[in-house]
Amino acid sequence: MVTVDSSAAAAQYAAILTQLEPRCQESRRGIADLSAKVRSAVKQTSGREVSLMDVLRGMERAIPGGAAKINCTDIATAVGLLLSRQ
How confident is the model at residue 1, as a pLDDT? 47
Distance separating alpha carbons of residues 3 and 26, to the nearest angstrom: 19
Q: What pTM was computed for the model?
A: 0.86
Q: Going residue by residue through the chain (86 aa), what tens digit of pLDDT does each one get?
A: 455 557 788 889 999 999 999 999 999 999 999 999 999 999 999 999 999 999 999 999 999 888 789 999 999 999 999 999 87
Q: Where are the domains of the chain?
A: 7-84
The answer to whether 85 touches 58, Cβ cutoff 8 Å, is no
| b/e per residue 7-46 (b: at least 16 CB within 10 A) | eeeeebbeebbeebeebbebeeeebbebbeebbebbeeee
